[in-house]
Amino acid sequence: MKKNYYSFEEIKTKFENYRELKESNITDEEYETFCGGIMVLPKEIVDKVQNEIYFVLMSAHPKKGNPACYVNLRKGIDKGKEAIIVLTPFIFAPFVHENGKVIEPEQANILHEIAHHVFGHYEYKDQQDYEEKEKAAREQVEKWVDQWADFIANG
């Protein structure tokens, strides 16, 4: 059976240019969280993401984090890219529930934004359209994660 997924190391290599950009000041652990999220996508989706989306990765680390980010579109971004996804520090920072329980960040947030791109969700007609597109993105993430889990279980 042909391998349908890239390994973690292959993903790290495919997106290593993000570590070299001034705007991308994430820690190694945060970068691995980003790559771990991308890794559950099938190869054809990873290739689409790499070719069409530019990520700006911002750290949640208190000494490295930025409250905002400027990206010069004439420099550092491939002109062929169709979208930019800014991953704010909140995607990497642990979430503390009101009962005090710490919930680690989920890669699902990254995959959710990728699903919007894959589906072409660029605008919303009304609240119902918004809710339908949000639901479709959530369901796609669940599908990708389930397929990945099946691949790991049977691989």
Q: Is residue 155 over pLDDT 80? A: no
Residues 6+ apart with CB under 8 A from 37: 107, 108, 109, 110, 111
Q: Is residue 82 in some structural domain?
A: yes
Q: Is residue 1 in some structural domain?
A: no
Q: Is residue 14 in some structural domain?
A: yes
Give the best-scoring range by mean pLDDT among 11-20, 108-117, 134-143.
134-143
Nearest to 113 by CA among 58, 16, 34, 44: 34
Please state the rounded mean pLDDT for residues 43-69: 73
Q: Is residue 31 over pLDDT 70? A: yes
Give me the pLDDT at residue 81, please.
Answer: 64
Q: Please tell me whether the overall predicted TM-score, pTM, comes out greater than 0.75 for this model.
A: no
Q: Is residue 139 in some structural domain?
A: yes
Q: Is residue 31 in some structural domain?
A: yes
What percentage of the chain reaches a pLDDT higher than 90?
19
The span from the CA of 79 to the CA of 71, in Å, is 13
Print the domain residue range for 31. 8-154
Q: Is residue 2 in some structural domain?
A: no
Q: Is residue 85 in some structural domain?
A: yes
**CB-based burial of residue 44 (10 Å sphere; 0-12 exposed, 13-18 middle, 19+ buried)?**
exposed
pLDDT, mean over the chain: 76
Q: Is residue 70 over pLDDT 60? A: no
Nearest to 23 by CA among 60, 66, 53: 66
Angle of helix 108-119 versus helix 28-39 axis, rounded to 10: 50
Q: Is residue 64 over pLDDT 80? A: no
Q: Is residue 3 in some structural domain?
A: no
Q: Is residue 129 over pLDDT 90? A: yes
Q: How many domains does the chain have?
A: 1
